[in-house]
Amino acid sequence: MAPMRRARLRRVRTATQVRRAVAAWRRAGDRVAFVPTMGAIHAGHLSLVARARTSADRVVVSIFVNPLQFAPGEDYGSYPRPRRQDRALLAAARADLLWEPSAAEMYPPDAVTRVRVTGIGDRLEGASRPGHFEGVATVVLKLLNVVMPDEIWLGQKDAQQARLIEQMCRDLFLGVRVRRGATHREPDGLARSSRNAYLTRKERAEAAAISRGLRAALAALEHGERGAAALKREVRRELKAHPLLREDYVAVVDAGSLEPVARVSRRVLIAVAARIGRARLIDNLEWQPRARRGGAS
């Protein structure tokens, strides 16, 4: 890895500028990591940039509120866009290049190609938000085709998104390593999300019940509970105790295929989506039975 350099965060708008910058780094032998975002940068994003900095020489961040992954009636128009603050945070985090593409370049009127990851993209968030993952896969493939990084960093809070992008990269021979950063949490456990900004003080207090529900399920797993129905009951007990929270789904699924499981016998994802006020929040935990000597538990 190259010695530590300090340059100002360079901001670019076009794909050509990104390609030029990355090509120059590649000529110098640098490894490039990429952190795609929709902005409203928070500690979760910054922890991804920090992880990326430790594993690559150069870090590219994109900010693009991707219209294609929002259904009509969702929060595309009101999604927070605190650009000056985002740029300052990314500069302080020592990202090298910030790409802020325009919608006109990403989606010219004659662009008709869409990417769909079947199965993984149809469950959980895919079922609740039809078209969402087609939008995500399409934009991430476009971004990757411009940046062509060695690795892409994604947050575990969006575990299904990370799994979908892993699958897409594998299926399409993209040759990029998909890395995940742990979910970043507020002190009371609420997963950091740009959409937390929508919460009123009262909603914010109740929203922490989502992660408490997941912790209750984790405690049950650690005590030997393996039934998916019982684990979902643990999560729902917390959600139901908070009248502002409206469950969208609570699911126990195989962490690879995201298909529902009745019993936990391998790595699983317990995923929750709930609405509260204007916000729709998601969170999850991944858990794997400890292998016993001579077999699995």
Active site residues: 45
- What x/- string results for residues 234 through 253 when contact with ligand PAF is judged by CB under 6 A? --------------------
Cβ proximity to ligand PAF, 161 vs 211, nearer residue? 161
Angle at 67 between CA 64 and CA 69, to 5 degrees: 100
Q: In the bound complex, what is the minimum distance in angstroms from residue 238's beta carbon to ligand PAF? A: 25
Q: How far apart are CA 70 and CA 292, in angstroms?
A: 44
Q: What is the smallest separation between the CB atom of 169 and ligand PAF, expressed in angstroms?
A: 13
Taking the complex as a whole, the smallest distance from the CB of residue 42 to ligand PAF amounts, in Å, to: 11
Instruction: Kindly state the smallest distance separating residue 6's Cβ from ligand PAF, in Å.
Output: 26
Q: Using alpha carbons, select from 33, 43, 15 the residue that is nearest to residue 191.
A: 43
Tell me whether residue 36 or residue 213 sits nearer to ligand PAF (CB atom).
36
Give 140 or 235: the residue with its C-beta nearer to ligand PAF: 140
Which residue among 18, 56, 60, 139 contacts ligand PAF (CB under 6 A)?
Answer: 139
Closest to 144 (Cα-Cα) out of 293, 35, 3, 277: 35
Query: Residue 115 interacts with ligand PAF (CB under 6 A)?
Result: no
**Distance of alpha carbon 164 from alpha carbon 128, whole angstroms:** 16
Instruction: Give the residue, chosen from 21, 38, 120, 216, that forms a contact with ligand PAF under the rule CB under 6 A.
Output: 38
Stretch that binds ligand PAF, among 11-19, 31-39, 89-97, 114-122 (CB under 6 A): 31-39
Q: At what angle do helices 43-55 and 83-92 cross, to 10 degrees?
A: 40
Binding mask 157-196 for ligand PAF (x = CB under 6 A): -x--x-----------------------------------
Residue 140 engages ligand PAF in binding (rule: CB under 6 A):
yes
Give the count of beta carbons closer than 10 Å to the beta carbon of residue 134: 17
Among 11, 9, 16, smallest CA distance to 105 is for 16
Ranges within 41-80 binding ligand PAF (CB under 6 A): 66, 69
**5 Cβ contact list (under 8 Å, min separation 6):** none
Between residues 76 and 249, which has the closer beta carbon with respect to ligand PAF? 76
Stretch that binds ligand PAF, among 34-42, 53-61, 204-212, 271-279 (CB under 6 A): 34-42
User: Could you say whether residue 37 binds ligand PAF (CB under 6 A)?
Assistant: yes
Which CB sits closer to ligand PAF, 155 or 213?
A: 155
Nearer to ligand PAF, 148 or 261 (CB): 148
Q: Which residues bind ligand PAF (CB under 6 A)?
A: 36-38, 66, 69, 136, 139-140, 158, 161
